[in-house]
Structure 1
Amino acid sequence: MTLALGGRRAVMEALRSARAERVLCVRGSRSTEGLRQVLLEAERAGVPVEWVDREHVEALEVRDAQGVVAIVRPPRELDEGGLARVSSDPAALLVILDGITDPQNLGACARCAEAAGAIAI
């Protein structure tokens, strides 16, 4: 199973975290500094880039794709038993989120959780 993440920031994070399997760029997208950075990071990470029609990206139903989408492996999910194993330390920090609709908010929460030493989100 894979997921589609849209937008330059989300794609950059997927590339940096080694979760991206490939990057889709819309043919005719404006060549911005952000897009150039995505292409450079994809090359550095060895992730293939495919140029596709806008309709292809729209079919993925990615909101605010900004002309670029990463196809990524989903994060590992933990069931209750797995969560109990990784959180056996009473001082372990677990972050629980609800109702996140803006990917930038989720990204900010994830970065803060990582900086604080959270074991899971």
Structure 2
Amino acid sequence: MAKQELIYGLHSVQALLKSTPERVLELRILKDRQDRRLQQIISLAEQNQIAIQHQNRNSLDKLVDGNHQGVVAVAIPGKTHTEEDLEALVTGAGNTLLLLVLDGVTDPHNLGACLRSAEAAGAAAVIAPKDNSASLNAVARKTASGAADTVPYVTVTNLARTLKELQEQGVWVIGAAGEAEQELYQCDLKGPIALVMGAEGKGLRRLTRETCDYLAKLPMAGTVSSLNVSVAAGIFLFEAVRQRR
């Protein structure tokens, strides 16, 4: 049997049915649930001739470890994006290129939230090292609310090397670091850029930090020293959006 994955949650399943319905083998729907959102998903499945099974809550709860919201899709795993895909994305985006780089983010909830912010900001891709990074699992997909099927998640073997290759293609690499001298709002984010966020708690690794063209920090007025990585990523991304408008 071909490898399968379970995708759950209203946003995630609806986005999957809209973007790549051919991946969906069947839907498992909560029996007797009849609200409008679920009916939209059922209609999409019927349009694409996807089999639907109606199951009780206990059966769905056993399928997935999370809040399924009454719908689970049994699907063929999506395309894995590689360095070759990244090269095409960079070439195609030109001067408006916006990339989000996650240097060792291991929590799938944070990965999902970062993907969601990246998609909303119009980022071309989210990049992460293959090792010591969260995988694009069901939890990340659920948190991403559909963004996992529209923003490429590119995993690379050597992050520092990838950043240097981006620099050679004219991309400015800006790292988020609390010890930086300049604040984010002093940075020019209008050209092709890659915004690099560090791991939860540890921040940027030394080699990643040294590879960045420059570092930027957020002005922190309160007593906490840092923000959650997905919150910080959203602020960095949308400052770039603001400057480009």
Q: TM-score with structure 1 length normalisation? A: 0.71
Among residues 38, 51, 54, which one is paired with 1:51 in the alignment? 54
Deviation track 1:25-45 (CA, whole Å, cap 9, x = no partner) reads 1223x3111111111111122
Q: Select which of 108, 112, 119 maps to 1:111.
A: 119
Q: Distance in 1 between matches of 2:25 and 2:109?
A: 24
Contact 1:14/1:72 (8 A) holds in 2: no
CA spacing shift, 1:65–1:102, aligned 2, 3 Å: farther
Q: Is the 8 A contact 1:94 1:118 kept in 2?
A: yes
Pick which of 91-100 and 55-64 moved more.
91-100
The alpha-carbon distance between structure 1 residues 42 and 61, as it changes in their structure 2 partners (threshold 3 A), is: same
1:36 and 2:36 equivalent? no
In 2, are the aligned partners of 1:5 and 1:70 still within 8 Å (CA)?
yes
* Cα shift at 1:78: 3.3
> SS of 2:100's equivalent?
coil
Larger Rg: 2
Q: Residue 19 of structure 2 aligns with which residue?
A: 17
Structure 2 contact 27–53 (Cα < 8 Å) conserved: yes
Q: Which has the higher contact order (CA 8 A, sep 6+)?
A: 1
How far does residue 16 in structure 1 lie from its aligned partner after superposition?
A: 0.5
One-letter amino acid matched to 1:118: A
Distance, in Å, in 2 between the alignment partners of 1:36 and 1:103 is 29
Question: Paired residue for 2:80?
Answer: 77
Query: CA offsets per residue over residues 50-109 of structure 1, 9 Å max, x none?
Result: 1123333222224111111111222211345x3565456395654345334179736633
Q: Distance in 2 between matches of 1:12 and 1:45?
A: 13
User: For residues 100 and 15 of structure 1, what CA distance do their matches in structure 2 show?
Assistant: 22
Give the secondary structure class of the aligned counterpart of 2:47.
helix
Residues 100 and 123 in structure 2, CA contact (< 8 A), matched pair in contact too: no
Instruction: Provide the aligned length of Structure 1 versus Structure 2.
Output: 117
* 3-state SS in 1 of match to 2:61: helix
**2:173 alignment counterpart:** none
| Root-mean-square deviation (Å) | 3.0
Percent identity over the alignment is 21
**Where does the alignment leave 5 or more consecutive residues of structure 2 unmatched?**
126-151, 154-245
Deviations 1:3-52 (A, max 9, x none): 11111111111110123221111223x31111111111111222211112
